[in-house]
């Protein structure tokens, strides 16, 4: 048992018990901070494993926190320690000590990393796909100028407030993909999927090849930031340097990957039914939600950046974060159009 595990045990309420499944149960201190009534049924659960890892889950309000040896204390675990009555000075000391802990069992280390970090197969992009930057520099020199479909893809990006060098956007002159903007999915430098967005009218709007558990832009996150912003679509994620779950339903493997960043996770939902569904996932995983006070015609973060600019948009997102479950549910009623709920 390492120092973090020992300290957690000594910080628990005097009334606690160990269940046959290995959980240590006690009244969760997090509920009153997340819009729920005070826990009186010992719904807080702590699991400490032999490899030094620790997990906390409240089965009442859904709050979660974890610790992995060799990493610093996560924001959510520091909050939990504070709710358990630990002074700020002690939490700071423990955070420094956490960095000194070395995982002794290398096999356990590999298992933990495999569990947190999913693996993906390399994928091929549509035939002929190359970065738009390359096409632009090459085609611009031709007497005929840019291909109309290539120009359409560039024009679409500009209409979304993005530049062609904001991401490694792709285009191909081949077949049915020539009138689509191709957004590759990268993981650790490899292409593991893509989505191809139709330019103009027509269906399907998107052609997507995505693997289970993938989180767009995850490995491009700055680990020194306090927040991880979660949105639905990749263009919104690029706009605010966040991550995209590529649907309105967060899977457990995606949530674990996002939580592994050890940052405060904040969902920034679109103002539609899909956004409302994504908010439900935020409540399920105990994440925060941002409800920026934007004009009613602003439907997502990309709209906001086009209207207000990136700095103002990010400032409003940060200043509008809510972590209380009760307050999130109340704010959601006004944030989403009634006909989209």
Domains, the chain, with CATH or none: 3-116 (no CATH), 130-209 (3.90.980.10), 221-340 (3.40.1360.10)
Predicted confidence at residue 129, as pLDDT, reads: 95
Environment class of residue 338 by beta-carbon count within 10 Å: exposed (0-12), middle (13-18) or buried (19+)? exposed
What is the pLDDT, as a whole number, of residue 180?
96
pLDDT for res 248: 87
What pTM was computed for the model? 0.65
CB contact set of 317 (below 8 Å; sequence gap of 6+) = 229, 240, 266, 268, 290, 292, 301
Structure confidence at residue 337 (pLDDT): 55
pLDDT at 69: 79
**Which residues of the chain carry a pLDDT beneath 70?**
99-118, 136-146, 223, 337-341
For position 65, what pLDDT does the model report? Answer: 86
pLDDT for 114:
39
Which 3 state secondary structure label does DSSP give 318?
helix
Q: Which residues are bridge partners to 194 per DSSP?
A: 184, 209
């Amino acid at each position: 048992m390492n120092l973090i595990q020992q300290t957690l045990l000594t910080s628990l309420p005097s009334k606690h018990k160990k269940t046959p499944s290995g959980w240590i149960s006690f009244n969760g201190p997090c509920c009153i901070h997340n819009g729920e009534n005070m826990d009186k049924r010992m719904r807080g659960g702590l699991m400490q494993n032999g490899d030094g890892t620790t997990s906390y889950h409240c089965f009442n309000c859904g709050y979660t926190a974890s610790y992995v040896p060799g990493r610093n204390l996560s924001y959510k675990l520091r909050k939990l320690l504070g709710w358990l009555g630990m002074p700020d000075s002690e939490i700071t000391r423990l955070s420094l000590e956490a960095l000194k802990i070395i995982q002794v069992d290398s096999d356990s280390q590999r298992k933990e990393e495999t569990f947190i970090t999913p693996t993906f197969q390399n994928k091929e992009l549509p035939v002929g796909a190359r970065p738009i930057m390359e096409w632009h520099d090459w085609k611009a020199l031709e007497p005929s100028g840019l291909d109309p479909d290539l120009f359409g893809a560039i024009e679409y990006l500009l209409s979304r407030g993005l530049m062609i060098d904001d991401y490694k956007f792709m285009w191909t002159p081949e077949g049915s993909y020539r009138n689509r903007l191709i957004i590759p999915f990268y993981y650790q430098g490899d292409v593991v999927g893509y989505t191809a967005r139709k330019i103009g009218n027509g269906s399907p709007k998107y052609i997507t090849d995505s693997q289970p558990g993938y989180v767009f832009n995850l490995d491009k996150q700055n680990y020194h930031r306090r927040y991880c912003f979660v949105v639905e679509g990749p263009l919104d994620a690029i706009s605010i340097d966040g991550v995209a779950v590529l649907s309105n339903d967060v899977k457990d493997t995606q949530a674990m990957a996002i939580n592994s960043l050890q940052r405060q996770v904040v969902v920034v939902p679109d103002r539609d039914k899909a956004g409302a569904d994504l908010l439900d996932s935020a409540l399920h995983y105990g994440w925060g939600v941002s409800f920026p006070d934007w004009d009613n015609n602003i439907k997502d973060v990309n709209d906001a950046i086009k209207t207000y600019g990136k700095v103002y948009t990010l400032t409003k997102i940060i200043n509008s974060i809510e972590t209380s479950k009760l307050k999130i549910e109340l704010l959601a009623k006004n944030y989403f159009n009634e006909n989209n709920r």
